[in-house]
Chains A and B, each alone.
Chain A
């Protein structure tokens, strides 16, 4: 998962201080490890160097001076490209998929998340077809079949989650309890 892209996504709704960014990250990315302050500032430094964020207002409401950061036009473009990019379908990309969907919902809307998920789903299903074909190949040994099963089981789990999520983002009013 890419912390810099997640931070860009969190800045899409408006400028934030480093501390606010850390809090927003930890609140919205429940499965990720809490972000260390050092990492927030180091990442912001890199993003600023690359022209993806810019320093905004400084304020000092009853404390030390704090600098807020805002997304630049270039930063918005980079975020957009990341949200459109399909992850290589492989076991253990699940947290990257989750991050992308959560950021799409924060930075855009359910439709944006749905469009990304549909593209990612197609890539996953294509990979699953290739692995299934490899398994059916008479030349495949036991080790190949077991390795294919391992990847298939993880992709299958990701696909089930994507199907559920596609339905949820298409109709956010359809709650779990309704």
Chain B
């Protein structure tokens, strides 16, 4: 695929003596949704952290729009994460003391956007996620599904080109998870946002355009080919 917005080649990463990634090659195109699945401990979260520049791989390269993310200093990787990459975790990423609107404004304020413009954008995104009426509420006053929709608004408010979602429905019941996924897919398609979706649930992987299976730090089809 030549239109990859983000790609990785031969990624190797170990924690002490235990290898988490053993030469993983991966790519995602603009607007594409890719599910990364596999059992616990297979290395899927480590892959996500290397792709998003949170971790630096021991070997291999990560290329985002022709820039080597793995060679960037931490400050440049942090800037990239703030402006062009979005991250959605399983739960607990909202600041408890802030309202929904303030939480969603936060990434824009950190990037230097003025207070009023940040608030306007935050309200727009809360509306897109169907939670405009929660703008002045704090996370403790919301259900898990509502909190996750606010968190998704916050991940998307900077209009990232790549969204990383790490078990985004893991803490939700089926219907609440389905609503989060429906919004995520609809908005990613509308804004041509690439999505790297880490999940161990087959039904959540069903929202992706394709699936990459990991096992023991490798892509499973590679492992299967080696077993033949």
Known A114-B224, A125-B211: A156·B185 in contact at CB below 8 Å: no
Please state if A128 and B206 are interface contacts (CB–CB under 8 Å).
yes
Q: Verify if B201 is at the interface (C-beta below 8 Å from A).
A: yes
Which residues between 113 and 157 of chain A lie within 8 Å of chain B, taking CB atoms?
A: 114-115, 118, 124-125, 128-129, 131-132, 136, 152-153, 155-156
Q: Verify if B203 is at the interface (C-beta below 8 Å from A).
A: yes
Q: Verify if B1 is at the interface (C-beta below 8 Å from A).
A: no
Candidates A115, A125, A160, A170; contact of B206 at CB < 8 Å: A125
Which residues between 180 and 211 of chain B lie within 8 Å of chain A, taking CB atoms?
A: 182, 185-186, 201-203, 205-209, 211
7 nearest A-B pairs in the assembled complex, by CB-CB distance: A159-B202, A132-B206, A128-B206, A156-B203, A156-B202, A129-B206, A118-B224
Please state if B206 and A163 are interface contacts (CB–CB under 8 Å).
no
Please state if B203 and A152 are interface contacts (CB–CB under 8 Å).
yes
30 contacts between A and B (CB under 8 A): A111-B228, A114-B224, A115-B224, A118-B220, A118-B224, A124-B202, A125-B205, A125-B206, A128-B205, A128-B206, A129-B206, A129-B207, A131-B206, A132-B206, A132-B207, A136-B182, A136-B185, A136-B186, A136-B207, A152-B203, A152-B206, A155-B202, A155-B203, A156-B201, A160-B202, A163-B39, A163-B202, A167-B39, A167-B215, A170-B227
| 19 further A-B pairs in the complex, CB-CB below 8 A; given A115-B224, A128-B205, A152-B206 | A111-B228, A118-B224, A125-B206, A125-B211, A128-B206, A129-B209, A132-B203, A132-B207, A136-B185, A136-B186, A136-B207, A152-B203, A155-B202, A155-B203, A156-B202, A156-B203, A159-B202, A160-B202, A167-B215
Q: How far is the CA of A129 from the CA of B206 in the complex (A)?
A: 4
Q: How far is the CA of A96 from the CA of B65 in the complex (A)?
A: 47
Q: Nearest chain-A residue to B203 (Cβ)?
A: A156
Residues of A within 8 A of B201 (CB): 156
Listed in ascending order, the chain A residues whose CB lies under 8 Å from chain B are 111, 114-115, 118, 124-125, 128-129, 131-132, 136, 152-153, 155-156, 159-160, 163, 167, 170
Please state if B228 and A115 are interface contacts (CB–CB under 8 Å).
yes
Q: How far is the CA of A136 from the CA of B182 in the complex (A)?
A: 7
Please state if A129 and B208 are interface contacts (CB–CB under 8 Å).
yes
Q: How far is the CA of A155 from the CA of B227 in the complex (A)?
A: 26
Q: How far is the CA of A156 from the CA of B174 in the complex (A)?
A: 12
Q: How far is the CA of A163 from the CA of B222 in the complex (A)?
A: 16
Nearest Cβ in chain A — how far from B182, in angstroms?
A: 6
Q: Nearest chain-B residue to A145 (Cβ)?
A: B178
Please state if A111 and B227 are interface contacts (CB–CB under 8 Å).
yes
Q: Nearest chain-B residue to A156 (Cβ)?
A: B203
Mark each residue of chain B from 14 to 43: 1 if its CB lies under 8 Å from any CB of chain A, else 0: 000000000000000000000000010000
Q: How far is the CA of A163 from the CA of B220 in the complex (A)?
A: 11
Residues of A within 8 A of B221 (CB): 118
Nearest Cβ in chain A — how far from B219, in angstroms?
A: 12
Q: How far is the CA of A125 from the CA of B206 in the complex (A)?
A: 7
Nearest Cβ in chain B — how far from A112, in angstroms?
A: 10
Nearest Cβ in chain A — how far from B100, in angstroms?
A: 25
Residues of A within 8 A of B215 (CB): 167
